[in-house]
Amino acid sequence: MISTRGRYALRVMIDIAENSHGNFIPLNDIAARQEISEKYLESILATLTRGNLLLGMRGKGGGYKLLRNPKDYTLGSILRLTEGSLSPVACLKEGAELCKKSPECRTLPVWKGLNDAINTYLDGITLAELLNQNNNYNDYSI
């Protein structure tokens, strides 16, 4: 399950892409538009900045902006940074030791397939696509 941290990170990235026009966006502006507490948002923005998805600048005229074009960000890359592994089972997480039952595990191919489907799907959607979609949802949120 994707946590609020991951969902908010996607909303924040969309907000910055939509509103920056090359300028830095102050944290309090993002927090107000997204209705996220500034303290929680600081933590998310710090993660996105450390992960080289955003550039942060302190002081007057400071804030956050994208480092790349929105088409160069995938939802998978944003979620893996904020959530960690998107693997449906522990044995498929990066760096996990194979369990002793893996050679005979009849369910492992199912979990590998699901893992591949999740990552392929999320890596196939870019921030630009979310910005450009025309939806008719009145109550849409990520």
The mean pLDDT value of the chain amounts to 92
Q: What is the pLDDT of residue 107?
A: 92
Calculate mean pLDDT across residues 20-24.
89
Is the pTM of the predicted complex or chain greater than 0.95?
no
- 121-140 pLDDT, tens digit per residue, is 999 999 999 999 865 444 54
Residues 6+ apart with CB under 8 A from 55: 24, 49, 64, 65, 66, 67
Q: Are 49 and 56 in contact (CB under 8 A)?
A: yes
